[in-house]
């Protein structure tokens, strides 16, 4: 077979995966094969296992063109979640784009902490502060079916994403969206639970982040000020006025921040604190409880 004849044969699944994986490796992507499989599976409307079972199948021209566009975007280190338009969080499919952070597995520690501290069958009001994609609010609404809540953010663009996710997951009847700075939209003395994944990366460290995060994800959702605690200080200081007696504040933190943040909570008048570690055994969530008596 001549070279020109061979080149005219459309590439099969194995060929597309091999070539695209090599391109992503050269671009410095940390998981090139996984990324390639996820993107090609999306183009073909199949699962990754189908690709492995049908390496000789030849995708049509439209699918190949769409796949080429996705690989080009990934070569710029655009996050796979943005290219696909979704990311799984707590077994929920969450739509994401550049208006919001990509949900991380570490943030699921907040949901684990809530389940450890609160009765699933209780009725209480919760708030997800700085909701972004709405992933935390959605997961809480699923796990606490008797509860109602508020998903708030200072970014109108982020709230559009959160509201769309809550509607698609049929949770908007129990979780409202509100725009405002930090805890401003929250009612005074009513919240049984406040959760927050705040910006906590020190400003000087932002330039050392991977290109996926540094270039493509929204900087205001990452930048925690000089020591990473600028937003957290405001959150901890304002939360007691919004929490009901006995209510909990659950705040995600970065490595090395759990102890200082727990100290801030005690200074703010919280009666007890607990730490919850993520799957990497890093203390990831500071849980602080208000006294059962009103201060």
Instruction: Label residue 3 by pLDDT band (50, 70, 90).
Output: very low
Residue 294 has pLDDT above 80, yes or no: no
Segment 59-86, tens digit of pLDDT:
999 999 999 999 999 999 999 999 999 9
Segment 121-158, tens digit of pLDDT:
889 999 999 999 999 999 999 999 999 999 999 999 99
Lay out the sheet containing 272-277: strands in order across: 175-179, 148-153, 125-129, 191-196, 243-252, 283-289, 272-277
In eight-state DSSP terms, residue 292 is: S
Instruction: Label residue 27 by pLDDT band (50, 70, 90).
Output: very high
Top CATH class, 99-289? alpha beta
Residue 93 has pLDDT above 90, yes or no: yes
The predicted model gives 164-193 an average pLDDT of 95
Write the DSSP string, 172-183.
Answer: TTTEEEEE-STT
CATH of domain 3-76: 1.10.8.10
Segment 226-269, tens digit of pLDDT:
999 999 999 999 999 999 999 999 999 999 999 999 999 999 99
Instruction: Label residue 221 by pLDDT band (50, 70, 90).
Output: very high
Task: Give me the pLDDT at residue 7, please.
Answer: 55
Q: What is the mean pLDDT of the chain?
A: 94
Return the structure tokens found at 158: 């982020």
Instruction: Label residue 292 by pLDDT band (50, 70, 90).
Output: confident
Return the structure tokens found at 295: 């201060």
Q: Is the pTM of this model over 0.85?
A: yes
Task: Give me the pLDDT at residue 9, please.
Answer: 73
Domain ranges of the chain: 3-76, 99-289
Residue 116 to residues 18, 82, 120, 143, 184, Cα–Cα distance (Å): 45, 32, 9, 12, 27
Residue 33 has pLDDT above 60, yes or no: yes
**Residue 257's closest CA among 239, 236, 279?**
236
In eight-state DSSP terms, residue 188 is: T
Per the CB < 8 A criterion, the answer to whether 96 and 51 are in contact is no
């Amino acid at each position: 077979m001549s070279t020109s004849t061979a080149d005219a044969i459309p590439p099969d699944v194995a060929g597309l995966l091999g070539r695209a994986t090599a391109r992503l490796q050269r671009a410095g992507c940390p998981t090139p094969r996984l990324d390639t499989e996820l993107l090609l599976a999306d183009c073909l409307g199949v699962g990754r296992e189908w690709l492995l079972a049908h390496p000789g199948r030849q995708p049509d021209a439209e699918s190949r063109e769409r796949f080429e566009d996705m690989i080009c975007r990934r070569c710029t280190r655009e996050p796979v979640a943005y290219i696909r338009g979704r990311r799984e969080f707590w077994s929920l499919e969450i739509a994401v784009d550049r208006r919001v952070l990509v949900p991380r597995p570490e943030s699921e520690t907040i949901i684990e902490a809530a389940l450890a501290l609160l009765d699933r069958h209780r009725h209480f009001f919760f708030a997800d502060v700085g909701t972004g994609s709405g992933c935390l609010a959605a997961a809480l609404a699923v796990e606490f079916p008797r509860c109602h809540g508020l998903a708030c953010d200072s970014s109108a663009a982020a709230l559009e994403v959160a509201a769309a996710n809550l509607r698609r997951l049929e949770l908007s009847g129990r979780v409202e969206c509100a725009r405002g700075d930090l805890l401003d939209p929250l009612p005074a003395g009513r919240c049984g639970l406040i959760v927050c994944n705040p910006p906590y990366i020190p400003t000087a460290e932002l330039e050392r982040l991977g290109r996926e995060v540094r270039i493509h994800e929204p900087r205001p959702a990452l930048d925690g000020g000089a020591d990473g605690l600028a937003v957290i200080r405001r959150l901890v200081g304002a939360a007691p006025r919004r929490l009901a007696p006995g209510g909990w504040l659950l705040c995600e933190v970065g490595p090395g921040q759990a102890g200082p943040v727990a100290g801030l909570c005690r200074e703010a008048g919280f009666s007890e604190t607990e730490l919850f570690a993520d799957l990497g055994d890093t203390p990831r969530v500071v849980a602080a409880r208000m006294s059962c008596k009103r201060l």
